[in-house]
Amino acid sequence: MIVTEPKVIVPNQKLARVYHHLDKGVHAYDEDDLYTPDSSLWRSKVLDLRLYEYPPNNTYAFDRSRYNNHGTVTGATWGIQGRTFPGSGPNIISVPDTTLLRVTDFTLLAWIYPTQTAYQEIIGKGNTESGNYGFEWGLTNTNTFRTFIGDGVAQSAWNGTGTIPTTWFLAGSSWNDTTQICTHYVNGAVLDASSALPRHIAHTTDALSIGFVGNRYKGIIGEALIYNRALSAQERQQIYLSTKWRYT
């Protein structure tokens, strides 16, 4: 008789903290009890870097999506809630280019604790400011978000209007390449949204970067996630409520 081992089921977040380090491949469960395998949310997640993971690896940041888009760590000192980026020097996480990361629609999410008020990038791929390709998302010197979109010829920037927190929060930016609208989020809720920007994303083979694209980020990043579509309000709130226990 063949006995099939049942899938591991994590019923709550406390047990998830114990078990999640055992999961090195495709999820049978998720640390935050968020994803059912083959659900729309699970399939659309193309990057999931949990920078707080213990024991820390000072060479690689392992991708917990099913796509193995692992990053290389330079600097960015590990801590119990994430990695610290000092705003200077070679502190960056670089993820090699793949077709999955050349997203045209996206939701970018990151748990962050910024420690300076300045122009600084959180996540980006390509160089929209000088090369007019890809996307960049970060903060401004007035404590707002800004997102760049490059179409290969020119770029447009959406400088948000809503003020961001000065402590831990789940930051977010989404882009709909059909409507050409960028939306920013705080803790899953809409903070501000652009009018239509006259761009469609054009990509190069540049790596995806966390912590430094054009301007260096200063602060802590706990985790960084990329989805290949604009998530719904319910999905964003689900992610926020299921991950905030690490930071608040």
Among the listed ranges 1-10, 83-92, 228-237, which one has the minimum average pLDDT value? 1-10
Average pLDDT of the chain is 87
> What confidence score (pLDDT) does residue 47 get?
98
Percent of the chain residues past pLDDT 90, beyond the cut: 79
pLDDT tens sequence across 157-214: 999 999 999 999 999 999 999 999 999 999 999 999 999 999 999 999 999 999 998 8
Average pLDDT over residues 40-51: 95
Q: Each residue of 111-146: b (16+ CB within 10 Å) or e?
A: bbbbeeebebbbbbbbbbbeebbbbbbbbbeeebbb
Are the C-beta atoms of 209 and 74 separated by less than 8 Å?
no
Nearest 5°: the CA angle 109, 159, 149 is: 65
Instruction: Kindly report the pTM of this predicted structure.
Output: 0.86
Measure the CA–CA gap between 33 and 45, rounded to whole angstroms: 15
Residue type, 215: N
- pLDDT score of 213: 85
CA atoms within 13 A on the CB side of 43: 3
Alpha carbon distance 85, 215 (integer Å): 12
- Measure the CA–CA gap between 49 and 111, rounded to whole angstroms: 11
Using an 8 Å Cβ cutoff, are 5 and 25 in contact? Answer: no
Contact 227, 45 (CB under 8 A): yes
Place of tokens 């050409």: 180
Identify which of 247, 212, 219 has the alpha carbon closest to the alpha carbon of residue 52: 247
What would the mean pLDDT of 35-64 be, rounded to a whole number? 90
* pLDDT of 3 over the 70 cut: no
Q: Which residue has the higher pLDDT, 237 or 2?
A: 237
Reply yes or no: is the peptide bond before residue 55 cis, omega within 30 of 0: yes
| H/E segment holding residue 146 | strand 145-151
pLDDT at 214: 82
Q: For tokens 């917990």, name the residue.
A: 64
Closest CA to 144 of 158, 126, 124: 158
Is residue 2 over pLDDT 60? no
Residue 55 backbone class (left: φ over 0; alpha: ψ -120 to 50; beta: rest) = beta
